[in-house]
Amino acid sequence: MDLIRLALFVCGVLFLISWISYILHYLFHAWVTPTPRDLKKLYNAEWALVTGGSSGIGLALCDILCSQGINVFIVAKDDPLIGQSTKELKKKYPDRDIRALGVDLGDRNGGYLSKIEKQTRNLRINLIFNNAGYIRVGLFPDDPLDAALHNMGVNVTSSLRITHLFANRLLDRGEKGAICFTSSSSCFIPSPMTAMYGATKAFLTHFATSLAAEVRPSGIQVLVIHPS
């Protein structure tokens, strides 16, 4: 009986220690590194590139970047939404330079890259948000192969091409910067009926964590986020 009481006491103490350390850790970070971080100051950033910046998470990112005094270059689907979102951002942040490029990031030949390369040549971009992505629902064998490959192109290959271009530019300039990937928590579990989605996001997470170690000594930080 005494042994059971002792075990319960030890468990209680450990539980308490774990909660106190969690709360102290949280308070410390909230105090030392308040969010959102000032990315302009942190990376001496003048410009950011945001894929999928015409709606949802990407548009919210553009809004925060503009509010911090950073100009944004949006890459998204060539549809009315990109023009509309750019117009709204320009209205809200008249002092910011907001540019947009409408392309299909699922293009198998990567035709969009030369356009991005050309239109950003004279911009000092230190922040890259690889955020564009979409989900296809259904059984993989039933999905046309071209559709699955397009999904792969948007969710994965475009991020690789864009990261390769801008990581090299940062390295050539010897400047610090940040490269962010929007993955998904669905990458951590099997995703039947959305097999391409889970797999493409798992690629991003694995790639980002490896790339982070490669480029961190050069002052480039890599971040991968997992919205639920």
Ligand X SMILES: NC(=O)c1ccc[n+]([C@@H]2O[C@H](COP(=O)([O-])OP(=O)(O)OC[C@H]3O[C@@H](n4cnc5c(N)ncnc54)[C@H](OP(=O)(O)O)[C@@H]3O)[C@@H](O)[C@H]2O)c1
Q: Which residues bind ligand X (CB under 6 A)?
A: 52, 54-58, 76-77, 79, 81-82, 104-106, 131-134, 154, 182, 184, 227
Task: Give the integer Cα–Cα distance in Å for 208 and 11.
Answer: 37
Q: Indicate the residue type of 9.
A: F
CB nearer to ligand X: give 12 or 80.
80
Residue 157 has what DSSP assignment? I
Q: How far is the CB of 24 from ligand X (least distance, A)?
A: 30
Q: Cis bond leading into 36, ω under 30°?
A: yes
User: Any bridge partners for residue 75, and if so which?
Assistant: 51, 101
Q: Indicate the residue type of 87.
A: K
CB nearer to ligand X: give 106 or 177.
106
First to last CA, the chain: 44
Q: How far is the CB of 184 from ligand X (least distance, A)?
A: 4
CB nearer to ligand X: give 70 or 154.
154
Q: How far is the CB of 142 from ligand X (least distance, A)?
A: 21
Q: How far is the CB of 152 from ligand X (least distance, A)?
A: 11
Instruction: Please identify the residue of the shown chain whose CB is closest to the bound ligand X.
Output: 56
Closest residue by Cα to residue 159 from 188, 179, 145, 187? 179
CB nearer to ligand X: give 12 or 111.
111
Task: Give the integer Cα–Cα distance in Å for 173 and 217.
Answer: 15
CB nearer to ligand X: give 58 or 177.
58
Q: How far is the CB of 157 from ligand X (least distance, A)?
A: 11
Coil/strand/helix, residue 98: strand
CB nearer to ligand X: give 17 or 147.
147
Q: How far is the CB of 54 from ligand X (least distance, A)?
A: 4
Which DSSP string corresponds to 101-129? EE--TT-TT-HHHHHHHHHTTTS-EEEEE
